[in-house]
Structure formats: C-alpha cells, structure tokens
Amino acid sequence: MDDYRAVRELLPAPPLTSGVEQAGRERLAAAITQERVRKGRRSARWTGLGLGLAGAAAAAVLLLPTAVPTTGPTTPPAGHGVLTAPDGKRFLLAAAASVASVPDTGAWWGSTLVHGREFREPGQRYVLRQRESEETWIPADPEGLTWSRRTYLGAGPATPEDEAAWRAAGAPETWTYGKKAPGLPTEDAPSGIVRAAPGKPETFSTEDWDFRIVLAGKPLTKMNEVPDTPEGLRALLGAADDQATVDNTARLLFFAPVTSRTRAAAYRLLASLPGVSAAGAVTDALGRPGQAVEYRSAEYPTTPYAGETRTRLVIDPDSGMPLSIETRSVKDGLLLEYTAVQDSRWTNDNPLEGTK
C-alpha cells in the first residue's frame, strides 16, 4: 500500500512543483517516523505540519487515520458559540443542534465513503462516472490498528443521455486514453485505461498513523483539545484567505472523527463565514435529498480542469450529518469529483478486524 496514495485520495491537493512536492513528502515522512517512535503514548494527536504548499492551499486540512477520543456527547449551553447566519444558511444551525446530540462513544469510529470522478470519454461523446468505496475503522485505543477496505466500483455513463450515447458508440467496457487516464488512480490509470468492471476489495491495516492538520505554523494539538466552539475552531483552522478557512472547516466536518460538540461548532462557524452561499434543496451524488451551501474553494480539483469550479456541501439538516462534498464546473455543471458519506458512526464492533 502506498502511504501517500491515501493522503492524495482522501484530501486532494493542488498541483505542486516537483521541488515543493518532494519537500512536503520528506517532512511528512519525517513526522510519521517521529510518531512511530513515541510508543506508549496515551492520546492521539493532530500534528500541525507546514508543508510549504503554494498559494491559499497552504492552510488545507490533511487528515490521516488515527486513534480518536471517546468523549461522551454534551449539549452546549443556551447561546454557547452560536453565531448569526443569513436566512438561507439557517439550516446549518439546525444541523448543528441535531448533530450535537449524536452519541460519540464507542471502541471504533467507522465510516464508508464513496469517491467519484466524472470526465469525458476519449472521443468526447459522453461523460463517464467512475466510483470507489472506502470503508475505514479507526480505533479509540491509541495502540490499535486502523482497518480499511477499498473497492473499485467501476465506471459507466453518468446520465441517461450519456448512456444513450454510450450505446450508440457500441457500449464499450473499456476506454483507452493517449496518456494517463483521468479519474481515480487505479492500477490501469498509468496505462491510460479505464475499466467498467468493478474490482476486488482490498483490505489492509495500518498502525501509528495519526490525524494531521496541515496548517502552516500551527502547534501540535491533542484530539480531545480540538475546540468545541466556533470561535475556537476559527482560531485553529482560520487562514488569511477566507476560502481556505471554509475548506478547513468543511474537511473537519466530513473527514474527522471529532466529538459531536465539535462538529456542531463547525456547522456554526461555516454558517458565519463569508463567501458561503445557500444553494437550497438539492439531491446529492448518491441521489439523497438535502440542503446545500456552495463556495469557491481555495483548492484545485484533482480531476484536471482549467475552468472555474464551485464546491457544494450537502447536509441532512434533520440528522445534522454531512452527505457529500462535490466539485462542479461553473461553465456546464459537470460533476468533476465528489466524496459522499454513505455511513459514519461510533460502534463497539469492527467488521474488518482480522480480515484480509
């Protein structure tokens, strides 16, 4: 398993020069090595690593699997950390109130994500959607193993209109590009091939990996010290560029196994940030109804695209749980890439433990 593949795929980074990328990898590798020699630690840490990323993405949140706290849920006192929000974004405050009561104790934090990319087939006649599922089980025990399972779900026409064009083209089961294929980094991608057929599940375990926030100049922070107020989160995640602050907050919501109180604070912070506009009722990438906000991300999409993009966060306001984070083309609305949260919860059982 390529350690850096998990980093790249979980939180896509903007294109880097070879020198910047190599320096960042060396610093990340050194940090991981340093963590591995700290055997016997009693609590997980988020390591603040300034990797020297160019532009506004220097403050992007980077999360890697780790042990997590088992602090029980608490309900914020009346008025605690509540910021105002425009009418269109008030659903975020409702989501914050709902998620604050979600239980966050257990031996494992489990999540199942569906990653998807959309891109045009080599002849530009229709759009393909390529998907992969990622199931992750992170132990509360800081000495435990993190278990993951990745499954390539295949590729096919993105819409009924695309399916009609695909059938007119002979319903191919593979697509060959002149160079590295766009989309997910499958084994066939370097050869320029995209396959329709699903792949076999790949299950693996890792140890001594930590959640890390890549925030230039930020200190080490224990997981149970992550702020649980909007003001505290802004102090931790904030950047000179408001776009990067929004990115950091969104990543925390979608990918970090933080307490329910911290997640509620993230919703309140997101509701107050400029540049975040309400998109109303939408259907997410998995066909689920929700309420959405949109913003211009400080990060470039992993899928190569030269035009302007918008990022959409889809939330279930009733449960307060995040549904998907999606990047679309402003010009034609093409869904360039997405991550949908199919399931996430605390539990005492890990179905992957001991399997390969």
Predicted pLDDT at 68 = 37
Residue with tokens 């399997």: 355
Opening angle at CA 120, ends 118 and 124, nearest 5? 165
* Confidence tier at 102 by pLDDT (50, 70, 90): confident
- Spatial CB neighbours of 56, under 8 Å, sequence gap ≥ 6: 239, 241, 243, 244, 298
pLDDT digits (tens, 9 = 90+) for 262-290: 999 999 999 999 889 999 999 999 999 99
Domain chopping of the chain, boundaries: 69-206+229-347
pLDDT at residue 86, rounded to an integer: 53
Instruction: Tell me what percent of the residues of the chain surpass a pLDDT of 90.
Output: 41
* DSSP element (H, E) containing 161: helix 160-168
